[in-house]
Structure formats: structure tokens, C-alpha cells
Amino acid sequence: MSPSATAFGDVSALALAAADEVAKAAAQAVAARQRFRIVLSGGRTPAALYRLLATEPFRGRIDWASTALLFGDERRVAPDDPSSNQRMARETLLSGLAVAPGAFLPLDGADPDGERAAERYERDLRSELGADPPDLLLLGLGPDGHTASLFPGSPALDEKSRWVRSVPPPAAVTPVVPRLTVTPPLLLRARRTLVLVTGEDKREALKRALAQSGSEHQTPARLVWRSDGAVDFFCDRAALGR
Ligand code: 6PG
């Protein structure tokens, strides 16, 4: 399915629109399946969105007790490390909720055995999802074209069965630490994917991600073109170069 791209004047407008999409997806999922499973992205971009979700009116629009907060990737650091995606989600989203989510399932970045952490998270995901796909997948885009922690040239891009992999530090982006990441077999099943992209440093990667053709190994974010569900890029003007 061809992704759509929507331009926003700035990060605040983008976060507001994304928060509305999350609230709508949550309402649809809970009405249909009594559960909303969202896969959170990491890095800096989603922080504004997560803060909005933890404040009114969005906090009151979402049935948090029926919501499972999952993660698409994690840096292999302690949960209180400043670069931890789990820490960012706790500070911007979880700490603002009046009702605890039905599930908060972070990846275990602190486990010194990455393979063990990946296998454990896959069990957690399969237990939460059962036969259902994630309802909403949030992704970001790195300046090198990566998404989640699927970096250019990574063997994890060719994973056909495992949902979670432990991967070495990236070559071209910070933090240069090993990561845990979900893989295409899980990512491509999402009912809806929202890719949030801000900043001039993403311009070239975004052009490659949205082009009609290109290499997923060069620009891993291009894998969303194979998604089972709808894919929308929400971009600020700096990233789109307009
Ligand atoms: C991570 C993210 C990663 C992120 C991009 C963009 O753990 O780093 O999951 O895929 O979305 O690197 O990061 P920024 O939002 O910080 O630019």
C-alpha cells in the first residue's frame, strides 16, 4: 500500500494531529476488540506526542485500562539511562496518566544478554497480541533512513520469522549502543502505521523513503511500503523541504 505524506507547519501541529489519530485508533480498537495495542517509537520526535496523550483532551479520550503500550525498539542501556526509550516514555506519557495502562511492556535494555532479552520480548508480544496484529505502529525515521532500530544493511531487515532481534550499534547515528528491535514480520502486520518525521536532517532520508522505488537495505524505512495496513507519514516542513 502506497504511503501517504502529510505536511505540518511545525512539530506542535504534527503532534496534535498524531494525538487525534491515536485517540481515533484507540476508540476503534476498543470498540471492536476491547483492547488497543500501540507500538511506541523511541528517539526525540514522539516526546511531544506522548506529552499530549497524557493531557486533556486526549488523556480522557483514550481508554488506558484497555490499552497495551508496546515498544518498537530500545537502546541496550539501563532503564534510567538518559538515552532509554523506556525512560522517555515513562517521563512523557506514563507519568501523566491518571489511569494505569492495561499493559506497559518495555523491552529489557538492561539485560546483558541481548538474545535472551529479544526472545523474552517476543514471548511478551505474542502473549499480548495473540492472533491480532498491533492496532497502531508508531515509527520514526533516522537521517540514515533507519526506522525502529533497523539500520541500513542490517541482517535483521531480512528476518522472516522472529519478531524481535538484538542488533549491534549503528554506524552512523547516536547513541552508538547495541539495540533491541522489532522486525518486519511484526512491523508489517500493523493495522495502521504512522511515521513521524521532523527536522531538516531527515530531508534526504525522507525523499528516499517516499520515492516510488528504492532499496530497503539502503533506506530501511521503505519497508513500510510492504505493510498490510495503511501507512501515513506525518512530516514537518523542515523535513519535507517545503
Ligand atoms: C530510536 C528510535 C529511532 C528513531 C529515529 C528518529 O530508538 O532511536 O526508535 O528509530 O525513531 O532514530 O529519532 P529522533 O526522533 O530522535 O530524530
- pLDDT for residue 43 is more than 90: yes
Task: Give the residue, out of 45, 70, 173, 197, with the most ligand 1 atoms within 8 A of its beta carbon, to mutate for a pocket test.
Answer: 45
Distance 67 CA to ligand 1 centre (A): 23
Distance 63 CA to ligand 1 centre (A): 27
Atom of ligand 1 nearest to the CA of 173: 12
Span 126-142, average pLDDT:
98
- In tens, the pLDDT along 204-241 reads 999 999 999 999 999 999 999 999 999 999 999 999 99
The model's confidence at residue 242, banded by pLDDT at 50, 70 and 90, is confident
84 within ligand 1 shell (Cβ under 6 A)? no
Handedness of CA 55, 232, 164, 83 (dihedral sign): negative
pTM: 0.98
Q: What is the rounded CA–CA span in Å between residue 111 and residue 35?
A: 29
Grid coordinates of 6: 502529510
Strands of 179-182's sheet in order across: 73-75, 179-182, 164-167
226 within ligand 1 shell (Cβ under 6 A)? no
142 within ligand 1 shell (Cβ under 6 A)? yes
- pLDDT for residue 1 is more than 80: no
184 within ligand 1 shell (Cβ under 6 A)? no
- In tens, the pLDDT along 188-204 reads 999 999 999 999 999 99
Atom of ligand 1 nearest to the CA of 198: 17
Distance 140 CA to ligand 1 centre (A): 5
232 within ligand 1 shell (Cβ under 6 A)? no
> For residues 84 and 78, is the Cβ–Cβ distance under 8 A?
yes
Grid coordinates of 215: 532499496
Q: What is the rounded CA–CA span in Å between residue 53 and residue 138?
A: 14
Distance 208 CA to ligand 1 centre (A): 17
- In tens, the pLDDT along 143-178 reads 999 999 999 999 999 999 999 999 999 988 999 999
Grid coordinates of 234: 506525518
